[in-house]
Amino acid sequence: SGGYVYTEYHPMEEIYQWMTQIQKNNSELVTQHILGKTFENRTMYYLQISQPSNKTKKIIWMDCGIHAREWISPAFCQWFVKEILQNYKTDPKISRFLQNLDFYVLPVLNIDGYIYSWEEDRLWRKSRSPYENGTCYGTDLNRNFNSSWGSVGVSFNCSSDVFCGSGPESEPETRAVAQFIKSKKSDILCYLTIHSYGQLILTPYGSTTKPPSNNEELMQVAKEAAAALKGKYGTSYRVGSTASILYSNSGSSRDWAHTIGIPLSYTFELRDTGTHGFVLPADQIQPTCEETMLAVTMIIDYVDKK
């Protein structure tokens, strides 16, 4: 891990450095790739964790930091990468994962927003693209995907925290993720997106209460992950579709990923149920990441065995 402190939050500059360092120190396994550019022209990188092999491997995609203020989310993506790299030689389960699966990790999706939340407004949520002649800023990137875009749980007012943009995939960050995932969709078995608070594992869909065709499988896998969490840490995660256990929303990346054919698509809302909300103190990073790692590992284990 090269001395990186995983129990503190880090500004984007340090996360960029971390990605470079992780690739350098683990060149046998990790490559860093450009995914696209943000509105403010910053480079979006993802990390590919892939053990060299002649075998065709399936992909687990994980993105973090779509909402700027949810700092625990990028912290988890980094924790996840650290755990895989630290343990793949000694942990038989992780070792087995890497024989069959590649991990693609996007540590911060909404880079412009994340930087803004560090430098200007800790509770900023959206991206930073200007609307209406610069009178308001930012699109909720998790309302901007092309999945029942604009139909429910969004606002068309650009001052709103859930402004869905001017059209589906109107934002460069959304397009970068969507184009890449579309290009790999036949190999991606599982799409995971990490959010900040509520202790929920959310399944598709948010835009309708009609369950997806593989709902039983989606629910069973998530329930097993939640049960493991309860058993080991006593943390009570709720499992269910977004529309049924949270609120209706359209244009989310999770719904979109499922509609393009990625069978297992989940949103994680991490540890807190409101005590700290979007401002989880740094001393909660480790316990949150440890328990989340267990739940994520359960899901990956299912994918791997399948």
Partner 1 sequence: YDRDQVLNIVPETIQQVQHLQLLCSTFMLDLWKPLLPEDIKAGEDLHIRVPAPLVQEMKDSLAQHMISYRVLIPDVQKLVDQSMPRERSSHR
| Site residues, partner 1 (CB under 8 A) | 8-10, 71, 122-123, 153, 155, 161-162, 198, 246-248, 274-283
Using DSSP, state whether 155 is helix, strand or coil.
Answer: strand
Spell out the alpha helix ranges (H) of 67-190: 72-87, 92-100, 111-119, 172-183
Whichever of 112 and 269 has its CB closer to partner 1, that residue is 269
Q: How far is the CB of 226 from partner 1 (least distance, A)?
A: 19
Whichever of 188 and 200 has its CB closer to partner 1, that residue is 200
Residue of 171, 173, 269, 291 marked catalytic? 269
What is each CA distance from 46 to 119, 192, 242, in whole angstroms?
A: 23, 14, 26
What is the crossing angle of helices 12-25 and 111-119, to 10°?
Answer: 130
Q: How far is the CB of 153 from partner 1 (least distance, A)?
A: 6
What is the crossing angle of helices 72-87 and 92-100, to 10°?
Answer: 100
Q: How far is the CB of 161 from partner 1 (least distance, A)?
A: 6
Q: Tell which residue, 5, 85, 12, has the closest CA to residue 48.
A: 85
Whichever of 154 and 264 has its CB closer to partner 1, that residue is 154
Q: Is 120 part of the annotated catalytic residue set?
A: no
Q: How far is the CB of 94 from partner 1 (least distance, A)?
A: 29
Whichever of 87 and 236 has its CB closer to partner 1, that residue is 236
CB neighbour list of residue 216: distance below 8 Å, 6 or more residues apart: none
What's the rounded Cα separation, in Å, for the pair 57 and 49?
Answer: 12
Cite the active site residues: 269
